[in-house]
């Protein structure tokens, strides 16, 4: 049982971050609280944070290249003298179809050989 009462009257939240019935290895979390409600709230909050997994990212990019370029221009391109020229003439394809470093290389400042 994940939340149980200790002999001294406090409550302990004792659970794993994954379902271990399939043999999965997961982090064990144990923390003591004054009330049962605090322990249950901590358990629910921790499991929700792990389930949302912000470190895994949003997945595949679902915007078009033109949308990303407009976003880039509104945040950075307007500070450049030739920012509008960089945005012209690019195809309107799905951004997920492009190689990852294509736009980064395209938008990098050009190094002059002097």
In 1-114, at which residue ranges do the beta strands (DSSP E only) sit? 3-5, 11-16, 28-33
Query: In terms of Cα–Cα distance, which of 48, 59, 53, 84 is closest to 69?
Result: 84
Query: How far is it, in rounded angstroms, from Cα 2 to Cα 30?
Result: 9
Structure confidence by residue, pLDDT tens digits, 43-68: 999 888 877 776 666 666 677 777 87
Q: How confident is the model at residue 11 (pLDDT cuts 50, 70, 90)?
A: very high
Greater confidence, 114 or 95?
A: 95
Mean pLDDT of 85-89: 62
The model's pTM is: 0.46
């Amino acid at each position: 049982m994940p939340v149980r009462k200790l002999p001294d009257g406090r409550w302990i939240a004792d659970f794993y971050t994954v379902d271990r019935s399939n043999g999965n290895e997961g982090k064990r979390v144990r923390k003591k609280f004054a009330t049962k409600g605090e322990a249950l709230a901590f358990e629910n909050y921790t499991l929700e944070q792990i389930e949302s997994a912000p470190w895994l990212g949003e997945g595949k990019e679902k915007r078009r290249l033109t949308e990303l370029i407009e976003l880039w221009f509104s945040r950075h391109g307007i500070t450049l003298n030739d920012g509008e020229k960089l945005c012209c003439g690019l195809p309107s394809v799905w951004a997920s179809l492009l190689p990852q470093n294509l736009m980064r290389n395209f938008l990098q400042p050009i190094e002059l050989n002097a």
